[in-house]
Amino acid sequence: MSRIGKKEILLPQGVEVAVADGIVKVKGPKGSLTQALVDRVAVEVDGAQVNVTRVSDDRRSRSFHGLMRALVANMVTGVSEGFSKSLEIKGIGYKAGVNGSTLDLALGFSHPIAYPIPDGINISVDREKVIVEGIDKQLVGAVAADIRAFRPVEPYKGKGIKYSDEHVIRKAGKAGK
């Protein structure tokens, strides 16, 4: 039995889960999310908790058991608390700013970068810090990765965009004579 899959999901106050036609719908104070269920897994709502069980015991059912439980748990956390990723921008002249529904980045290229902010994502900028927030964990991570990919941190001077909890191993420069 999957260690993750057999844990029940406790629902916080104000969160509702509904299962119909192979789709899980989670509604909470921050919004609502939907997820299609795999036919090898069943989701039951028992009052203030949700249980995820597998239909059979074959290999594919076991592999989807923990996955679907984790996805439903992330949906419950997202609609009640939300998710956020924090990015740091380091470098002379590197800056970011939010202009309407676009994130404007100046990262040392010959042109500024205008990144369109997707629906369901909130981006706030505080000097060299960019905070990506939303209720969908997958979308928050994807947007943060897209922003980081514009200028990843280089190991010599540490210039670029990095996650705030990321540790960059610095390299020694040339040993000049």
Long-range interactions of 116-124: CB distance < 8 A, separation 24+: 117/143, 118/143, 120/31, 123/98, 124/98
Class of domain 83-163: alpha beta
Least confident of 92-101, 102-111, 168-177: 168-177
Is residue 1 over pLDDT 70? no
The widest CA-to-CA distance across the chain, in whole angstroms, is: 73
Q: Nearest-CA neighbor of 134 among 30, 36, 34? A: 30
Say yes or no: do domains 9-80 and 83-163 share a fold: yes
32-69 confidence digits (pLDDT tens)? 999 999 988 999 999 899 999 998 989 988 889 999 99
Fold of the domain spanning 9-80: Outer Surface Protein A; domain 3 (3.90.930)
Least confident of 30-34, 38-42, 99-103, 135-139: 38-42
How is the chain split into domains, by residue range? 9-80, 83-163
